[in-house]
Structure formats: C-alpha cells, structure tokens
Chain A
Amino acid sequence: MAGDDESWMTVQLTACRGPSSGRHGGRGAEPGAAGGGADHDSGTKAGPGRNPDYLSGNLLLQSDAINRLGTQSSRREQIMNEQNLHRLVGEVKTGRLSRRGFIRRMAALGLAAPLATQLLALGGVAQAQTQPAYKPTRRGGGGLLKILYWQGATLLNPHFAVGTKDQDGSRIFYEPLAGWAADGTLVPMLAAEIPSIENGGLVADGMSVTWKLKRGVKWHDGAPFTADDVVFNWEYAIDPGTASVSIGSYRDVEVTKLDDFTVKVAFKKPTPFWADAFVGSRGMIIPKHLFKDYTGDKSRDAPTNLKPVGTGPYRFTDFKPGDIVKGELFPDYHLENRPYFDAIEVKGGGDAVSAARAVLQTGEYDYAWNLQVEDDILKRLEAAGKGVVNVVETGNIEFIQVNTTDPNREVDGERASITTTHPSLSDPAVREALNLLVDRKSVQDFIYGRTGIATANFLNNPPRFRSPNTSFEFSVQKANDILEAAGWKRGRDGIRAKDGKQLKYVFQTSINAPRQKTQAIIKQACQRAGIELELKSVTASVFFSSDVGNPDTYTKFYCDMQMYTTTMPQADPQLFMNQYVSWEVSTQANKWQGRNIVRWRNEEYDNTYRAAESELDPVKRAEMFIKLNDLVIQSRHIIPVVARPLVSASGKAVQTSLSGWDNTFWNLRDWYRDSQA
C-alpha cells in the first residue's frame, strides 16, 4: 500500500477524548503520548488501516467537505477553520457547548445549519473519503492479474454466497450500490452519490433512504442498468422460495422505484444503520432481465448462476467450482481508465502457506487471500523481496468467554442452563484475577505478531466505536492478591479453594496451533496464581458446528471457559453487539442458535442496546456502543485477547485497494500494477 499516503487527504476532527493513550496496542509504532482534546495530529497522512491509534474517537471528514467549508478562503484560513471545528465539536461532545450553540457559532462562521448538523452527524455512516490515487491513464494494458485463493469460489450468485470466497468470486463481476472502505465509510459504486441529509437521500426521521443511481451503466451483455434491476433484487431476495442468504438485509425493508434512476428504501421503524440493503457484500445487484424467469423455487435452474452477467470491471469468461474463476476486461465499464488489467484469474485450492509462498517468494502470483499463517513464516517469506504482506483492520476478535452458568449441573436435561449460576466463576474476584492472568502482550508478541493485536476491547473497529475507557494488564501478583483477599486460599495441592469449591476449570477451544499455544500461556499463568486449567481442544468442524446432538459445540459451551474468534461482518456494530443481549441467550429452547453464548444477562446492557437500535444521532449512538463494550468488558465474563486483522499478500508492484468491512474485490476496479513501485 505504499504510495497511498499523499493522496489520502483525511482531516480529523478531534472528539472529546483526544488521542488514545496506549491501550489499543498499536501496530508497530508506540502510541502517541499527546494529551488534551484540542491537541491533535492534523492527519494528512492517514492511510487505510495505517495508523489506527490516533484515529480513535475522531471523526473523519471528506477533504472536499473541508474545501466546501472554506470556500474562497486561502489554505491558511482553512486550517483555522479546521482547528476551530475540532475544538467546537469536542466541546459539544463533552457537553460544554450545546448542539444548538454549535450550529449558531457555525452560522456565525458562514456555514448553513444543515451542513453544520452534518458535521456532528458524520460519526454515523460517514461520507466516503477520496480514494487512493489511481494512476493508470487508460483502460487495459495491464496483462493478466493472477490471484490465489486457498479455498476456491464454489458458486457465483451473490444471493447464494455465504462464505467470503463465494462473495469474492461474485464481486469480480457484480457491484453493489456502495461499498465499505477500510475506515468504515461508504464509497459509491452503482450509486451516483452516497445518500446524506444534505443531498436529500436521508430523512430526519430515519424512516427511509433514497438512492440516486449512476446513469449510463451497462450490464456485460449491453443492457442498461436501471432502478428496475435494484427493485428486482429486493423481490428476488425476499422470496422465501429462493432461500437467498441475503434475505436478512432485505426482508424488513420496502423498496420502491421513484423513477428510472431513483430508488427508495423504506424502513418499518427509524433505522440509524440504513446502509445494509444494496450495500457491500450482500448488496451486489444481479440483472433483472436474466434472472426474472428464475425466482423462487426455480432460482437454482438459472443459467446465469454459473455464468454471471454483472456491471463490474471484468466480465465473465470461465468458472470451474472450487478451482478457477476467470474474467476479462469489460470495455464499457462505467468508470474511465478502468480496469487496468486485461484479464483476471482467481485460482483456488491448496493451502495458505504455499499461497503466501507463490506471491512473496516466487512471485508466480500477484495476490494471495486470507493468509492464516504464523507471522514468523510470513516474515521469512517476505524477506525474499518479491511481495508485501497487507494487514487490514477488521472488527474480528479472538476472545475468551467465562461461563455465567454451571456447565456441570443438569436442569431439565440441559447443561449450562440459565437457571443456574457458576459455583466459582460467579465471584467477580475470580474473573478479575483471570483477566489479569491473560498475558495478551505475550500472545501478540510470541504467537500472532502482526496478525493479532492485543486489545482490552470487545468492539475495536471502526475507530469511532472504540472505547478509550479500558485497559489491560498482566500481573500474577495482583491476581494472587485479589484471590487471597476474596478468601480463596491455596490448598495442599497449590490450588485455591473456598467452601470446598476448587478453582479448577475446563478451558476449551478449537484445534488450531496459535490457539493451543495461547491456551498454554494462560494455563501457566493461572498455575502460578493457584488456578488449575484443564485444556481441551475440539476439532474445528465439530466445535463450530451447530449439531444439536454434539455436546462439544461452542454454542453449547458445556465447560468453564472457551476461546474463539467472532467476526464483525459490517462496519456497523449493531449486529455485532447483540451477542450479549438477554433475548439472544443460547439455550436448549432455541436449539442453541442464540448469539449470546456466554449467557451473560444485564438489564442496563439490554436497555442501552434497544436505545442504540433507534438512536438517530450517530455521535450519541457511537457513545452507546462504547458503553455496551465497557459494560461487557467490566463484567469480566468476556476477556478479549487479540484483534484479528485481515492478512493477505500482494506482489511488489501490485497496488490493491482492500477493506476489512467489505469483500477483497470490493474495489477491484482500482487495482493496478505500478512499475515504479
């Protein structure tokens, strides 16, 4: 991603909290030590996922928005305006200045009220930033782009694509209305612009969003792209007979065509997160004229399922499920000078290490996807100098759950029933001690390296939702003191006990080398504090299965502690944070399909979550999510270990555009080869 820096003109408005202070475990650089709210880095160098530390709590603003702020003013005056804004927005957030006061002052500076409110509102679904510079000055001429996936795409209909490999395969050919950039902002694809209050796309009551479509877009077969196609995708997805996996994004909305290039998405209740339908991985639009005869039960017979016709930069040439997807340059693509490559080939199969090898060491391939490979190996391969490892931030997190219920007692045939409480883990002191015994820094340093960043938060990204109120520490001494004070005394075998209950736990995870190493590190530390852990590892295909008959699945959680990674599929945390609401508890009654696997229940959490679901002020909403994070972290039933970024490799000269919030190929049109790099 070298060379992006100059072009990313992001300006950050400092929110009340100021720069983060070293709790987020920075990648590479030590976190900045700067203090006060107004003191900040004016951040003209923020690349995607480059310097996450000081993005914390800041709002991102489009550079041309700044230009609009400072109409007809010199650059110096612009900077004055920025600094004023930073201070004022910060004051609004801390409560020293009312929102009305802010707008009045803005008006005094010559800014219209809608724009001023938008400045405050940007924390929600923020406007897109300018994209990294795209250098090629003509279409094509780039030869073949060779990409390796160690799991090949198995189908190419985006409405059937569950896994990222299938979504990525579809994304080569299909596009949504907008995609998610690395910083969690929207970039228009088939939309003419991102809806906002200013352009009339959003309404104040949050009941609908109006999308203006790009004109002159053609399908690969030459047919024009119109609002009918967009409406059709909604009808297609919500038909239960289709059994589309995208139904969750579409069934609660009502889509109507206003004119040939305008579509309105109406919600049933005020919806702060309006960018779900038609956006990102589940928003890819398929052509009405080729699918209209194949809806519902007939959907599986559509020939276009295997031979996609989309609007993307490359058009389909060949597909063999699990093996290869091929495309060629689409000469009528709707963006000028794009795409750069004449053809694209995505080869599947094999394993992650050899995929990394083919890019980093031999240069046989240009890009390798999702390298779940130990950082040591990646570093060694990188030393060959043929390619670089890309690390992109996501919301995915490897964490430990500490059971609230008793896994060893059966109530009406159900273990870990929510009518029970755990005999010893229900003591906050024990959980506090466990939290101190997880040596996250060592786990990062010795196991994950760049591929796992130690964290104290459950909700880590996008940065505007990251809590600054948490911290982590590793101290056996403190853990011992806390346990001693709480009355847990060491027995003759060195294991602490109270009232006949010993601190002996079963700690399970899936079979996966880094996880077993992490387990061992934690076990050792616990031993020194008089807690005995029995380590258990379950085959991944069993652990992550939803097999109701198997006692070892992670959703059943029939043990004291467990560790795995939970993923955050969207840049909005609403779906992610429902993992701790009381109505999502995983029980026998819902066949363990509930998302709240740790079975922690808290009224304040529930209420805050419900409020966040309908809070339209993005800044307040972000505060609520930070509070949700803090609540669950303070409970110590959740111990975050490392945040898991997305790791991939690309050839030295290949300029990619990646995002942790969307598919690998979300912005494939901007990929090119830079011979100077």
Chain B
Amino acid sequence: VSQYLLRRLLIAIPSLLGISIVLFTVLALAPGDPFEELATNPAIPPEVRAALRAKFGLDDPVFIRYFRWLIAMVHGEWGYSFVSRVDVDTLILQRLPTTLIIIGSSQILALMVALPVGVFAATRPYSIFDQLANTFAFIGFSLPSFFTGLLLILLFSIQLDWLPFVYRADIEATGWRFVWEHVRQSIMPVAVLGLFQGAAWTRFVRSAVLDVIRLDYVTTARAKGLREKVVIIKHVVRNALIPVVTLVALQMPAVFGGAIVTEQIFRVPGIGSLLISAILANDTPVIMAVTFVFACLVVFFNLLADILYGWLDPRISYR
C-alpha cells in the first residue's frame, strides 16, 4: 500500500504543476487590474499606481511572475494580498473556522438525511415512503440554493422574524447564549446547503442500494436466516457505499471552498466569499492561493477515495 501511495503522490505533483500553470495564465490573461481604483481616481497621481505595480512585480512577464510564485509557494509563502496588504495565509486562516463549521455541518446534515432515507427508500421501492422521498429529493435538487436561501429569509426572517439573516462570525456572548446565537444564525445557511446536497445524495444512495440489493449474495444472506437489519447494514450498505464514497470524497474540497452563493446571501465570512471578493477586486495572489488550495484538496480526496475503496472492498487491490 505504501508503494502505491508514493506512486500516486508522485503522479499528483505534475498534475498540480499543470493546474497551477493553467490557473496562473488564465488569471494573467483575464482583464482587470488590482489597482484599477487608483487609475480611475483623479486625486491619485498615476505614479502611485506605477510604483505599486513595480513593487508587487506586476510589470514582469507572466512566466517570471509564475516562477516567482512557484518558488515562494515551495517555501511555504502563499503570497501577499494586493488589496488588503496582508499575507494570504492570514486571510485564509481567518476564514477557515467559519467555513469548516458551516459547510462541515451542512455536509453532515446532508449525509444524515441521505443515508437513512436513501437506504430505507431502496429497501421498499415504489412504496409511499419511496415516492415521497423521491418527490422531495427532486424538489430539493432542482431548486438552486440562492432561491431556497432567499425563500427561507423571506419566511423565517422577514415574515416570522425568528432568525437573523446576517451571519456574524464573532458574537459577543458567552456560555449557552453564545452557542444558541450561533445555532440560530447557522440554521438557515446550513439547511440550504445541507438539504440541497442531501437531496442529490438521497437519489444516489437509493440507486446504489437498489443495484446491490437484488444480487444473489444478498438473497443467500437472507436464506441463511440473518436478520434483515444485519443483511442491510453489513451486506448491502457496505457494498453500496463504494460509489457513494467517491461522490462524497470528491465533494469534500467544497467543504473548504465554501459555498460562494450561499455565503454571499447570508454574509457568511467563509473562504467562498473571500474568493468572490478577491475575484471582483482582481486580487490575484488571493485568487491563486484559494483556487490552488482547492486543486490540492481535489487531488488529495481523490487519493483518499481510492484508499477507502480498498477498505470497503478487499477485492480491490493496489497495484
């Protein structure tokens, strides 16, 4: 296994390099300039903009800038935000806790909905429960999150006035009140993200379980007189989970990336909103760092999924 891991990691390096080259070139070619505002403000002499561009090395050719970035990255320097004038890692670390809490709990919610509902629906296909689950799943993943988000705000914040719709990362309260306030403001964003994700996964889990449940070994297990619960959990779900694991694992980078639209609607100060404001401000080092982190995470979780396969199905071997 360790040899396999090493090989996979080595393969990952060129792909990450390729990704970084593509990202860097696209950003360099995109229109816009981080010091745009300086150019359009009559009170600021053009020399200031020229000096800043020179200071941050923006006038150098793209490939020189790329190698400078690459060398810094190898040294663990993520870059320096043009707009905020702080190190990019500070910016990202500031927003990581909020992102992990909100997106993480929404993914957990999604799994908690998708697994039981999907499995239960598959064991009784075309029952009333299955029909209902299917209908809700369809509704859930057909409605875009910005729409459900606004709908929830209209209902719970404006009509009923129960929940706040502006998320505040640091609430000045202690003890239970602190927890309560956080739960209250997290309900809507977590529900929007979690239920959307959960709806899609429910469909996926259901079909994966349906594929497995008709196989002969399941009939054999039942014939042995095993209890239905054991048959489903030990024999069916374990095998049915393999494709689900791939899907969930590939979704994991999103946990770190945040959900751009939802974060914007609820003003959740996560990495997604950092990315969108950096894009709007043409803050290249921040865009580069955040997208590159995503790329790394995708590669990493792909690897993780492959390793999990082996655990779920010993027949899969690493070569």
A interface with B by C-beta (< 8 Å):
144, 148, 151-152, 154-155, 157, 160, 162-163, 240, 243-245, 247-249, 251, 282, 300, 305-306, 318, 320-324, 326, 345, 347-351, 354, 357-358, 361-362, 364-365, 541-542, 544-547, 550, 569-570, 575-576, 578, 593, 595
Q: Which B residues, 63 to 90, have Cβ-Cβ distances below 8 Å to chain A? A: 80-81, 83-86
- Which of B16-24, B104-112, B245-253, B267-275 faces chain A? B267-275
Inter-subunit contact B48/A247 (CB<8 Å): yes
Bound CA span A569–B281, Å: 21
Given the known interface contacts A154-B84, A322-B84, A347-B166, the answer about A357 and B158 at a Cβ–Cβ threshold of 8 Å is: yes
Q: Which of A148, A162, A305, A357 is packed against the most chain B CB atoms within 10 Å?
A: A162
Given the known interface contacts A362-B157, A364-B166, the answer about A162 and B42 at a Cβ–Cβ threshold of 8 Å is: no
- B40: which A residues are within 8 A, CB to CB? 544, 546
Q: Which B residues, 13 to 52, have Cβ-Cβ distances below 8 Å to chain A? A: 31-33, 36-48, 51-52
Inter-subunit contact A151/B164 (CB<8 Å): no
B196 on interface, CB distance cutoff 8 Å = no
Give B163-203 as 1s and 0s: 1 = Cβ < 8 Å from A's Cβ atoms. Answer: 01110111010000000000000000000000000000000
Give B115-130 as 1s and 0s: 1 = Cβ < 8 Å from A's Cβ atoms. Answer: 0000000000000000
- B169: which A residues are within 8 A, CB to CB? 320, 323-324
**A and B contact pairs by CB, cutoff 8 A, 7 listed:** A157-B85, A249-B43, A322-B277, A348-B267, A349-B269, A354-B153, A569-B42
Q: Top 9 A-B pairs ranked by shortest CB distance?
A: A323-B269, A546-B39, A321-B84, A349-B267, A350-B267, A162-B37, A154-B84, A243-B51, A248-B43
Inter-subunit contact A578/B42 (CB<8 Å): yes
Bound CA span A595–B95, Å: 40
Inter-subunit contact A324/B36 (CB<8 Å): no
Which of B32, B52, B265, B281 is within 8 Å of A243, CB to CB? B52
Rounded to whole Å, the gap between the CB of A478 and the closest CB of chain B is: 36
B91 on interface, CB distance cutoff 8 Å = yes
Inter-subunit contact A323/B95 (CB<8 Å): yes
- B48: which A residues are within 8 A, CB to CB? 243-245, 247-248
Rounded to whole Å, the gap between the CB of B189 and the closest CB of chain A is: 12
Rounded to whole Å, the gap between the CB of A345 and the closest CB of chain B is: 8
- A318: which B residues are within 8 A, CB to CB? 170
- B55: which A residues are within 8 A, CB to CB? 243
Given the known interface contacts A324-B170, A578-B42, the answer about A546 and B36 at a Cβ–Cβ threshold of 8 Å is: yes
Given the known interface contacts A245-B48, A322-B274, the answer about A575 and B43 at a Cβ–Cβ threshold of 8 Å is: yes
Bound CA span A621–B132, Å: 77
Inter-subunit contact B83/A154 (CB<8 Å): yes
- B219: which A residues are within 8 A, CB to CB? none
Inter-subunit contact A546/B33 (CB<8 Å): yes
Given the known interface contacts A249-B43, A358-B165, A362-B158, the answer about A162 and B84 at a Cβ–Cβ threshold of 8 Å is: no
B161 on interface, CB distance cutoff 8 Å = yes
Nearest-CB residue, chain A, relative to B168 = A347
- B170: which A residues are within 8 A, CB to CB? 318, 324, 326
Inter-subunit contact A569/B264 (CB<8 Å): no
Inter-subunit contact A358/B83 (CB<8 Å): no
Inter-subunit contact A365/B277 (CB<8 Å): no
- B135: which A residues are within 8 A, CB to CB? none
Interface size of B in residues (CB-CB distance below 8 Å): 51
Inter-subunit contact B161/A162 (CB<8 Å): no
Bound CA span A569–B43, Å: 8
Which of B36, B47, B91, B158 is within 8 Å of A321, CB to CB? B91
Inter-subunit contact A575/B42 (CB<8 Å): yes
Rounded to whole Å, the gap between the CB of A124 and the closest CB of chain B is: 19
Nearest-CB residue, chain A, relative to B263 = A349
Which of A347, A362, A545 is within 8 Å of B32, CB to CB? A545
Nearest-CB residue, chain B, relative to A552 = B31
Nearest-CB residue, chain A, relative to B52 = A243
Nearest-CB residue, chain A, relative to B91 = A321
B94 on interface, CB distance cutoff 8 Å = yes
Rounded to whole Å, the gap between the CB of A100 and the closest CB of chain B is: 38
Which of B84, B264, B269, B282 is within 8 Å of A324, CB to CB? B269
Give B236-257 as 1s and 0s: 1 = Cβ < 8 Å from A's Cβ atoms. Answer: 0000000000000000000000
Rounded to whole Å, the gap between the CB of B281 and the closest CB of chain A is: 8
Which of A152, A162, A321, A350 is within 8 Å of B166, CB to CB? A350
Inter-subunit contact A362/B264 (CB<8 Å): no
Rounded to whole Å, the gap between the CB of A254 and the closest CB of chain B is: 18
Rounded to whole Å, the gap between the CB of A554 and the closest CB of chain B is: 9
Inter-subunit contact B157/A282 (CB<8 Å): no
Given the known interface contacts A240-B47, A305-B85, A541-B32, the answer about A362 and B161 at a Cβ–Cβ threshold of 8 Å is: yes
Inter-subunit contact B168/A349 (CB<8 Å): no
Bound CA span A575–B51, Å: 22
- B168: which A residues are within 8 A, CB to CB? 324, 345, 347
- A593: which B residues are within 8 A, CB to CB? 39, 46
Given the known interface contacts A248-B45, A349-B264, the answer about A541 and B84 at a Cβ–Cβ threshold of 8 Å is: no
Bound CA span A627–B84, Å: 42
- B277: which A residues are within 8 A, CB to CB? 151-152, 154, 322, 349
Inter-subunit contact B164/A349 (CB<8 Å): no
Given the known interface contacts A162-B37, A243-B55, A247-B45, the answer about A547 and B269 at a Cβ–Cβ threshold of 8 Å is: no
Which of A249, A300, A354 is within 8 Å of B165, CB to CB? A354
Bound CA span A163–B84, Å: 12
Rounded to whole Å, the gap between the CB of A593 and the closest CB of chain B is: 5
Rounded to whole Å, the gap between the CB of A341 and the closest CB of chain B is: 14
Which of B36, B165, B263, B274 is within 8 Å of A364, CB to CB? B165
Bound CA span A305–B86, Å: 9
Nearest-CB residue, chain A, relative to B164 = A364
Bound CA span A365–B42, Å: 34
Nearest-CB residue, chain A, relative to B276 = A349
Bound CA span A245–B37, Å: 10
Beyond the given pairs A322-B273, A323-B95, A354-B265, 4 more chain A to chain B contacts, judged by CB atoms under 8 angstroms and listed by A's residue number, are A300-B80, A545-B39, A546-B39, A593-B39
Rounded to whole Å, the gap between the CB of B218 and the closest CB of chain A is: 50
Bound CA span A633–B46, Å: 28
- B45: which A residues are within 8 A, CB to CB? 247-248, 251
Given the known interface contacts A243-B55, A323-B269, the answer about A545 and B31 at a Cβ–Cβ threshold of 8 Å is: yes
Rounded to whole Å, the gap between the CB of B275 and the closest CB of chain A is: 11
- A361: which B residues are within 8 A, CB to CB? 158
Bound CA span A535–B165, Å: 39
Which of B33, B165, B266 is within 8 Å of A547, CB to CB? B33
Inter-subunit contact A320/B85 (CB<8 Å): no
Inter-subunit contact A320/B264 (CB<8 Å): no
Rounded to whole Å, the gap between the CB of A151 and the closest CB of chain B is: 7
- A570: which B residues are within 8 A, CB to CB? 43
Inter-subunit contact B267/A547 (CB<8 Å): no
Rounded to whole Å, the gap between the CB of A169 and the closest CB of chain B is: 11
Rounded to whole Å, the gap between the CB of A153 and the closest CB of chain B is: 9
Nearest-CB residue, chain A, relative to B283 = A154
Bound CA span A361–B159, Å: 10
Rounded to whole Å, the gap between the CB of A27 and the closest CB of chain B is: 27
- B266: which A residues are within 8 A, CB to CB? 350
Inter-subunit contact A155/B85 (CB<8 Å): yes
- A365: which B residues are within 8 A, CB to CB? 166
Inter-subunit contact A541/B31 (CB<8 Å): yes
Inter-subunit contact A282/B165 (CB<8 Å): no
Bound CA span A349–B280, Å: 12
Inter-subunit contact A569/B273 (CB<8 Å): no
Bound CA span A542–B36, Å: 10
Inter-subunit contact B31/A351 (CB<8 Å): no
Inter-subunit contact A362/B165 (CB<8 Å): yes
Bound CA span A148–B161, Å: 19
Bound CA span A541–B280, Å: 8
Nearest-CB residue, chain B, relative to A575 = B42
- B33: which A residues are within 8 A, CB to CB? 545-547
Bound CA span A134–B212, Å: 75
Bound CA span A397–B41, Å: 15
